Copies of this chain bind each other. A is one copy, B any other.
Amino acid sequence: MQKYFISHENLEALVIDGDDAFHITKVMRSKIGDKILVSDQNKTYLASIKSLDFNKVTFEIIDEKTGNMELPVFVSIFQGYPKGEKLDDIIKHGTELGVYEFYPTLMKRSVFKLEEKKKESKLVRFNKIAKEASEQSYRTYIPKVVDIIELKKIDFSKFDYKIYCYEESAKEFEKSNFKNIISNLKPNDKVAIVIGPEGGIDSSEVEYLNKLGFIPCGLGPRILRTETAVFYCMSAISYEMELLK
């Protein structure tokens, strides 16, 4: 069943408009009576379509959906800006896996050079990917792609735990820092995870992060690509906190 995030006002008015109305009528080719999920990022309802127009769909609420879909901790991903379209996949799959917010981060070894005038349109695009992935994965909350920012301009003061994924740690078979931290997380903890771009984290950045109290973590003995590291971290946090023995 397709889920749609709508504004609180539209939820009160039982109306879907804009791109989502187009999606329901033209892409999904829904019919009157078809069931959808609607959410204002606070509550989620099972709803039935009452009327269809390509720019306005109305619905009635059948039932409230309960059940927590969100990770019990807030994970912020500071992803070294990678090459090509990799960030699309990182945001898409990271959203499915429960990321709270993303900061595409400009680091020493990022090949990507930000043109300031393109920043807004990039952020709009990334946030659209996050919205669609949230709908697909039935999340309650849409993660924000907050800003494209230089590593040294980020304020990390709000975090309870700060880690960075470090290839050199993996090479030295460092295998306890990540699990030590993740297995001790408590609900509502705020976790910052820094992941380098393709070339890894530069030594001056490592020094900077260490000074800020970041912990270097190996993610097993194999060397992971930058996009795989975020999948590993998020999957492990879900496995640790959301699954039961």
Contacts and interface: CB of A to CB of B under 8 A. Distances in A.
Interface of A: 67-69, 89, 92-93, 96-98, 136-139, 171, 173, 175-176, 178-180, 182-183, 218-225, 227-228, 231-233, 235-236, 238-240, 242-245
Nearest to A94: B228
Nearest to A240: B239
A243 B136 contact: no
Contacts of A171: 138
28 contacts: A67-B173, A89-B89, A92-B225, A93-B225, A93-B227, A96-B222, A96-B225, A96-B228, A97-B222, A97-B224, A137-B224, A138-B171, A175-B242, A175-B243, A176-B244, A176-B245, A178-B239, A178-B243, A180-B245, A219-B238, A220-B238, A228-B231, A231-B231, A231-B235, A235-B239, A236-B238, A236-B239, A239-B239
B223 A137 contact: yes
A69 B223 CA distance: 9
Contact of A93 (B180, B231, B238): B231
Contact of A98 (B137, B176, B220, B242): B220
B223 A136 contact: yes
Indicate how many identical chains form the complex.
2
A235 B68 CA distance: 23
A96 B223 contact: yes
Most buried by B among A173, A221, A231, A245: A221
Given A222-B138, A242-B220, A242-B221, A228 B93 contact: yes
A245 B233 CA distance: 15
Given A222-B97, A222-B98, A244 B137 contact: no
Nearest to A224: B96
Contacts of A235: 231-233, 235-236, 239
A165 to B, nearest CB: 12
Contacts of A221: 67-69, 138, 242
Contacts of A182: 239
Contacts of A138: 171, 221-223
